């Protein structure tokens, strides 16, 4: 699975998204310009000690991303409040590219128009402009992973029973 951030502006959001990508085995693609440096403290703080394990790739612009990932255009899903489809109705391939725009403006319309049938939205109340970027990525990414049966992810936890006295005993 792939998460693509087009011109992200807020380091804490990208750090949180990076941590989610490590937890899910997802590649993070960052398309410049970035609103921060990749060695910025806020980015590393949000990503905790997971950032070193992240598969992150950086591109000069959207065309550079497409040139270096030729299969992406057929497997690209663009998150936008202008999308005609709901994110949960899309059928995600296990190597889908989930694209999100910058926090202040989203994905430019010239890109959206080229991929109109691949645009989707997260439903929300009409008076709300948008959700936080890292929350949006988590919502859509986990739906895509769910559809692919959480391939290669740990699915079972284990409770460790401690012996303690219950107040009613």
Q: Annotated binding site, which residues?
A: 101, 122, 130
For the annotated binding site for S-adenosyl-L-methionine, the residues are 101, 122, 130
Rounded-to-integer distance, Cα 82 and Cα 135, Å? 18
The helix or strand, by DSSP H or E, that contains position 59, with its residue range, turns out to be: strand 56-59
DSSP bridge pairs for 27: 2
Give the H or E element holding residue 12.
helix 11-24
Query: Cβ neighbours of residue 86 under 8 Å, at least 6 residues apart?
Result: 120, 121, 122, 123
Backbone φ and ψ for 46, nearest 5 degrees, come out as -70, -35
């Amino acid at each position: 699975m792939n998460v693509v951030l087009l011109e992200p502006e807020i380091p804490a959001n990208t750090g949180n998204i990076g941590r989610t990508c490590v937890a899910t085995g997802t590649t993070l693609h960052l398309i410049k310009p970035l609103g921060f440096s990749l060695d910025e403290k806020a980015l590393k703080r949000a990503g905790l000690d997971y950032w070193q394990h992240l598969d992150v790739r950086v591109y000069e612009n959207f065309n550079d991303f497409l040139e270096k990932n030729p299969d992406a255009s057929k497997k690209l899903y663009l998150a936008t409040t202008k999308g005609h489809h709901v994110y949960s109705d899309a059928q995600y391939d296990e190597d889908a590219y989930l694209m999100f725009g910058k926090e202040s403006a989203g994905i430019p319309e010239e890109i959206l128009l080229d991929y109109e049938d691949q645009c989707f939205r997260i439903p929300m109340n009409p008076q709300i402009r948008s959700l936080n970027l890292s929350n949006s990525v988590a919502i859509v990414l986990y739906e895509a992973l769910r559809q692919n049966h959480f391939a290669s992810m740990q699915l079972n936890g284990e409770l460790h029973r401690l012996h303690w006295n219950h107040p009613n005993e």
